[in-house]
Amino acid sequence: MPDRENEEREYDLRWADGAEHKEPSARARMLAARWKENPPGPVPFRADPDHRGSGRRSSWVSTVVVLGCVAAVIVLLGYINFRAPY
């Protein structure tokens, strides 16, 4: 008897997955209703160069800071290993 219930349930899932029309989610319905009256404006894929802060200099500064921190950790670990008694 349990095998028959599993077969029926599997059949129902296959039937549901094979449906031609699937209802959109609640969020999709909400956004569609909202955008029907007030469509969203275009959004660029990447930000404009003017809005990225101070430009290319900031990327170099952050790169130097990260590499400096990595170098400091390497030097510190080397100093600790040099000073540690064996």
The pLDDT value recorded for residue 62 is 87
Task: Give me the residue spans of the domains in the chain.
Answer: 56-86
pLDDT band at 77 (very low <50, low <70, confident <90, very high): very high
pLDDT tens for 12-62 read 777 777 777 778 889 999 999 999 999 988 877 776 666 555 555 667 888
What is the rounded distance in angstroms from the CA atom of residue 31 to the CA atom of residue 26?
Answer: 9
pTM for this predicted structure: 0.34
The pLDDT value recorded for residue 28 is 92
